[in-house]
Structure 1
């Protein structure tokens, strides 16, 4: 059976700070992230199925990624829960800001691993996550490939 890769792109705004970092990114700042999600599978061959010819309906993939990533991370601030930023996080939360506490340093590298795990859990059994590309700036991004993991 022929394997086809399809990609859907998303964008969201997220703030973060890298505690302990020796550069400007130790300060709270934000990015206009771009996330490319590529899945692989065989197109549906059932001519009676409304999804005939599709690996996965782009709308179904969009629903998964929006629920797991975009709707949660968009206009949120991400902090490592194990750093002194917890005080700032709690202050922001008390003022009704959207704050996400994670168990990792919120770099693009770690975020893309987290996103891969979240998306893979939601995909149908016959569809595999092939890769993710999380672009932090116009010239900087992290990539995750299933074949590397």
Structure 2
């Protein structure tokens, strides 16, 4: 089994805010991330797939095609968007980095061909904060 990772990048705004809580509780739990005027991040997205190399190409999967899948189904929907308002697959979800990683996984899985498995999503919100999701 070989693991192959593609790095992509996007910028997006969001707000962490639970509508069932008071403004004070949201600010207490989420701090500046509950800012009414939103805030943004420069996200780095690592998508790792796994499989056996094709005997004819030596590839687990064509990285150009992997990049196209990620761009079409994830990056184009997220880049320079408001995660809370503009992204259909984040609608009605708390827009945490954890939930975003899960949603990205769900966007990619249906588009990978037989024999190629999604192994993990690593999503950096900042250089010091990231989440990993393995399905």
TM-score by length of 1: 0.78
Distance in 2, Cα, partners of 1:8 & 1:57: 11
Distance in 2, Cα, partners of 1:74 & 1:118: 15
Do structure 1's residue 136 and structure 2's residue 134 form an aligned pair? Answer: no
Structure 1 residue 100 displacement after superposition: 2.4
Distance in 2, Cα, partners of 1:68 & 1:141: 21
The total of aligned residue pairs comes to 121
Distance in 1, Cα, partners of 2:87 & 2:119: 26
Larger Rg: 1
1:103-146: CA deviation from partner (whole Å, max 9, x where unpaired):
21010000000000111111001100001100000100111014
Give the corresponding residue for 1:26. 34
SS of the counterpart of 1:54? coil
Give the corresponding residue for 2:2. 4
Do structure 1's residue 40 and structure 2's residue 18 form an aligned pair? Answer: no
Do structure 1's residue 100 and structure 2's residue 87 form an aligned pair? Answer: yes
1:30-68: CA deviation from partner (whole Å, max 9, x where unpaired):
0000000000001111x3xxxx11000000100110011
Give the corresponding residue for 1:63. 68
The runs of 5 or more residues in structure 1 that have no matched partner are 80-88, 90-98
Runs of 4+ in 1 over 4 A off after TM superposition: none
The runs of 5 or more residues in structure 2 that have no matched partner are 19-25
Distance in 2, Cα, partners of 1:19 & 1:100: 16
Distance in 1, Cα, partners of 2:117 & 2:100: 19
